[in-house]
Amino acid sequence: MRVLVALGGNALQRAGGDGSWQEMVRQMRATAPALAALARDGHELVVTHGNGPQVGALLRQNELARREVPPRPMSVLGAQSQGEVGLLVQQELTQALTVARVPRTVVAFLSRMEVSAKDPAFRRPTKPVGPYYAESEARLLRKREGWAMDYDGARGGWRRVVASPRPVRWLEAEAVARVLGEGGGATYVPVVAGGGGVPVVARAEGRYEGVDAVIDKDLAAGVVGAALSVELLAVVTDVPAVAVGFRKPWERWLGAVSVEELTAHQARGEFAEGSMGPKVEAALDFLAHGGRRVVITDIPSLGRALRGEAGTRVERA
């Protein structure tokens, strides 16, 4: 079975950690054996991942070094983070596969994701990125850079906000599909569409142009899954399953659930936009476009979730 594992930020950086490379290595080293176990069990494996903390760090480096080094556009920083995290996944997953005696080559692909220039998200930026600023700094950045800024009352600071358009098409899909074709899934493990892919819009004469935006990584995983004819999408997060009434007295964890039931929960607003909402939306979108099964769980539960013993499991009828 071809499995797409969409790694959340917890697989790369611990909440409240220092964000160092050493910390990222430790986190990925703890994650990799669960992925290698899927390959050892005979599954074809494709990996995608988040990049929020890494892009945030690059944006901060941009700010600190701007007097000496010209700052790079956000789309370029997205590409840089794909290289950074791709290297990390390559190194740690290769080692885990070696220990598991699974002879596969991990290959990271620089991935672009086309978005529509007419997406309404560009008219109303909502996705916070980068560091927090004092009001005086925010005022200067709005004037000097033309940034949209929003105030975070909980943190007492201002942050830049950018558009979060829906992914339309993964431009490298055909190339990766060829790599996996004719038995390639038993030879290679592609790492693709990191951070949702570099957002680009189509211009004249086949040219694509990067844009300052953030694509939701879970929605992008649904696009990748459909493009590669993936049978099962595993959305990895920091909780063992999806819950309704999360952190309320009536909290209930979902195990095996139908598409109809999950859709009904979503329609009632059970899943927050900034956390489980995009994961559930990606799951439903993946199933609507030909995918067979979705599991939503954490790394320790991943293997059991694929066996139907843990996590939230959704299967298309």
pLDDT of residue 307: 92
Asked if the model's pLDDT at residue 10 lies above 70, the reply is no
Active-site amino acid positions = 9-10, 127, 217, 279
Helical residues (DSSP H) of 170-270, grouped into ranges: 173-180, 217-227, 259-267
> Which residue ranges does the chain devote to CATH 3.40.1160.10?
2-51+83-116+169-315
Asked if the model's pLDDT at residue 68 lies above 80, the reply is yes
| pLDDT grade for 15, boundaries at 50, 70 and 90 | low
Query: Domain 2-51+83-116+169-315, what architecture?
Result: 3-Layer(aba) Sandwich (3.40)
Tokens of 161: 């906000």
| pLDDT grade for 41, boundaries at 50, 70 and 90 | very high
Q: How many Cβ atoms sit within 10 Å of the Cβ of residue 91?
A: 15
**What span, in angstroms and rounded, lies between the C-alpha atoms of 95 and 10?**
20
pLDDT in tens, 166-185: 999 999 999 999 999 988 88
- Look up residue 241 and give its amino acid: A
> Cα 68–74–78 angle (5° rounding)?
110
Find, among 197, 221, 186, the residue nearest to 6 by Cα: 221
Asked if 18 and 61 touch (Cβ cutoff 8 Å), the reply is: no
Please provide residue 60's backbone torsions phi and psi, each rounded to the nearest 5 degrees: -65, -40
pLDDT in tens, 91-126: 999 999 999 999 999 999 999 999 999 999 999 998
Asked if 241 and 254 touch (Cβ cutoff 8 Å), the reply is: yes
| Stretch among 131-135, 152-156, 255-259 having the lowest mean pLDDT | 152-156
Q: How high is the mean pLDDT of the chain?
A: 91
pLDDT exceeding 90 applies to what percent of the chain? 67
Please provide residue 261's backbone torsions phi and psi, each rounded to the nearest 5 degrees: -65, -45
pTM greater than 0.75 (yes/no): yes
Pair type for strands 44-49 and 2-7: parallel
